[in-house]
Amino acid sequence: MSRHPALKAWPRQKRDSLRIALWTAEEIAAATGGKASGAFQCAGVEIDSRDVRSGDLFVALKGEATDGHRFVDKAFANGAAAALVSEPIDWPHVLVADTTQALEALAAAARDRADAVRVGVTGSVGKTGVKEAIFAALDRASRGAAHRSVRSYNNHVGVPLSLARMPGRAKFGVFEMGMNHAGEIDALTVQVQPHVAVITTIAPAHIENLGSMEAIADAKSEIFAGLVEGGTAVIPTDTPYYERLLVNARNAGVEVMTFGRAAGSDARLLDAIPSANGGSLVTADIDGTRLCYSVAEPGEHWILNSLAVMAAVKVAGGDLAAAGLALAEMGGLKGRGARHRIAVPGGHALVIDESYNANPASMRATLRQLGQTPATRRIAVLGSMKELGDFAPAMHAQLIEPVAEAHVDHLVLVGDEMRSLARELGKGAATALAAPLTFAHCEGPGEAIAALEEFGLAGGDAVLVKGSNSVGLGRLVAHLVDRGR
């Protein structure tokens, strides 16, 4: 008789029969219709030879600017186990007709072999942070069996790459989907085929290409079309476009779970108070269950983000208690809220890194957060908001209101589009400012670094750095952090 009958009776699942390796040569060839040069196994998938790690499959994509086949040797020098190519090479490989199509086929195979609940996340603001929080919640609940897209891999290359990296043993998969034009999310959601589709919020990001807020709401709603049968759309009630999102979801024939402050929201905020760590203590009703949990990330926008996370976890079959713990432990992401204490004359200053992206809604949210941050002086380095088209001058000029409300003491404006705000500030007494504000306008991050050096940071300062990624303010953040170590 066995001394450990419980071990013998441990239930086996479908995923238990899958290999530990992410991909074998045989599986890659079967998925892509290609021909393998021999037997091999791969532990990961990568499209940039510089990021290849030992055991990866390097996919040699051909783009408009470059051809990945030029970097095959470098990929193997960095430890690649094999390559997916459309040209014969002397290394282990699978030969296909088109590597882009082959990557998409590999993604579909990964999606279909894993018995995983898939969550798709989109929205004008907050999608990367919400994606990370949902992943953290589901990963904690499943003891490491969740998968997600890394960084902002949310486009026509990033989404299939993220899918192709999903292990067959995954229980959950969380994927971010972005867009610049109508129709782009439609193509991505067909690949992911999510069980849960989350829209964080609707804001004037990419309005230059889409023309109106209604068009943005419709473009984000494309995520509903790819939902599997019985899937659920998670949508915000605290937006003027709620009814439009709701109609779009119902027209797609999917279930709906709502989140927000509004009465009737399925995940509804009941109360929120500041917590000692700078975050919030939230009380919410999640589909009839009252919860109290902490949100480590500061700012009112993260209170609402947490409701989206809770709603998604609830629908995905995750654990709400684990979600609460994950939200309490989350730290800011690089370029999206990471906080650094740096050494400056007289003590330390706080640097808030929001340098990865910007639109009018996220600018207002982060400026509001700056205004609530205890500080001797508040400094904001604001870079241009891109893809606003003809709306850009007015939307940049309108930032004078949240700047005033945040009680900013000094402002560094970066980029040509910020001239509109500089002109408003130059009007002096005619502005909405209650107190004098010093400011500088710079063409790029190099000038901004010099302007900030000339101003001089001191102990007790709080510095917000916010702008579209193309402005390059991540360079300024790196300068401050490196200098302040």
Q: Quote the number of domains for the chain.
A: 3
pLDDT in tens, 28-85: 999 999 999 999 999 999 999 999 999 999 999 998 888 999 999 999 999 999 999 9
Query: Which band of pLDDT confidence, cut at 50, 70 and 90, is reported for residue 434?
Result: low
Contact 285, 268 (CB under 8 A): yes
Which segments of 49-182 does DSSP mark as H helices, in order? 72-77, 99-113, 127-141, 158-164
Tokens of 161: 């790459």
**Residue 156 tokens, joined:** 């026509």
Which of 149, 153, 207, 157 is CA-nearest to residue 182? 207
Task: With a cut of 70, say whether residue 393 has pLDDT above it.
Answer: yes
| CA–CA distances in Å: residue 354 to residues 127, 260, 278, 335, 477 | 14, 24, 17, 5, 9
* Tokens 């599986």 sit on residue: 27
Q: So what's the pLDDT on residue 113?
A: 95
The backbone torsions φ and ψ at residue 271, rounded to the nearest 5 degrees and listed phi first, read: -165, 150
**Residue 370 contacts residue 464 (beta carbons within 8 Å):** yes
Whether residue 420 sits in one domain with residue 290: no
Q: What is the pLDDT of residues 306-319, one digit of tens each?
A: 999 999 999 999 99
Domain presence at residue 407:
yes
Give the pLDDT band of residue 205 (cuts 50, 70, 90). Answer: confident
Answer whether residue 250 shows pLDDT above 50.
yes
| Same domain membership, residue 77 and residue 42 | yes
Question: Of the residues 307, 329, 351, which one is the last residue of a structural domain?
Answer: 329
Q: Which domain holds residue 130?
A: 114-329
The helix or strand, by DSSP H or E, that contains position 244, with its residue range, turns out to be: helix 242-251
Answer yes or no: do 433 and 465 share one domain.
yes
The pLDDT tens digits for 113-167 are: 999 999 999 998 889 999 999 999 999 999 999 999 987 788 999 999 999 999 9
Do 35 and 184 fall into the same domain?
A: no
Strand partners, 353: 338, 465
Asked, for residue 149, whether it belongs to a domain, the answer is yes
In which region does residue 476 sit, left (phi positive, over 0), alpha (psi from -120 to 50) or beta (all else)?
A: alpha
Per-residue CA distances from 56 to 75, 78, 383 (Å): 9, 9, 37
31 belongs to a structural domain: yes
Closest CA to 267 of 237, 224, 297, 233: 237
CATH (domain of 397) = 3.90.190.20
- 105 domain-assigned: no
In a domain, 401, yes or no: yes
Length, in residues, of the chain:
485
Domain CATH number, residue 324: 3.40.1190.10
Residues 374 and 282 reside in one and the same domain: no
297, 329, 361: which is the final residue of a domain?
A: 329
Examine the domain organization and report whether 268 and 125 are in the same domain: yes
Residues 351 and 224 in one domain: no
Is 249 domain-assigned? Answer: yes
What is the domain-level CATH number for residue 92?
3.40.1390.10
Residue 413 is assigned to a structural domain of this protein: yes
Can you tell me the distance from the alpha carbon of 54 to that of 52, in angstroms, rounded to the nearest whole number?
7
pLDDT of residue 332: 74
Please report the pLDDT score of residue 125 as a whole number.
85
Query: 10 Å Cβ neighbour count for 430?
Result: 8
Same domain, 309 and 183: yes
Closest CA to 379 of 275, 476, 262, 264: 476
Q: What is the pLDDT of residue 430?
A: 40
Give CA–CA dist 175/118, Å, rounded. 8
Rounded to whole angstroms, the Cα distance separating 259 from 241 reads 13
Encoding tokens for residue 413? 């404006």
Q: Quick: pLDDT tens for 455-484.
A: 999 999 999 999 999 999 999 999 999 986
Instruction: Output the pLDDT for position 278.
Output: 79
- 185 and 323 share a domain? yes
Phi, psi dihedral angles at 255 (to 5 degrees): -75, 160
* Residue 289 backbone phi and psi in degrees, to 5: -110, 125
Tokens representing residue 54 in the block: 């030992």
What is the per-residue pLDDT for 70? 96
Pairing of strands 377-383, 410-414: parallel
pLDDT tens digits for 333-357? 787 888 899 999 999 999 999 998 8
Per-residue pLDDT band at 414 (split at 50, 70, 90): very high
Three-class secondary structure assignment of 279-329: CEEEEEEECCEEEEEEECCCCHHHHHHHHHHHHHHHHHCCCHHHHHHHHHH
In this structure, are 262 and 325 located in the same domain? yes
Check whether residue 157 and residue 291 sit in a common domain: yes
3-state secondary structure 17-73: HCCCCCEEHHHHHHHHCCEECCCCEECEEECCHHHCCCCEEEECCECCCCEHHHHHH
Task: Decide if pLDDT at 433 tops 60.
Answer: no
Cα dist from 109 to 41, 96, 230, whole Å: 16, 16, 22
**Looking at residue 426, what is its pLDDT?**
83
342 with 280, same domain: the answer is no
Least confident of 68-77, 129-138, 173-182, 206-215: 206-215
Residue 61 falls within a domain, yes or no? yes
> Of 309, 329, 349, which closes a domain?
329
> Could you tell me the two tokens for 474?
């991540």
* Average pLDDT estimate for 1-15: 54
Q: How far is CA 320 from CA 138, 183, 302, 312, 333, in A?
A: 9, 34, 17, 10, 22
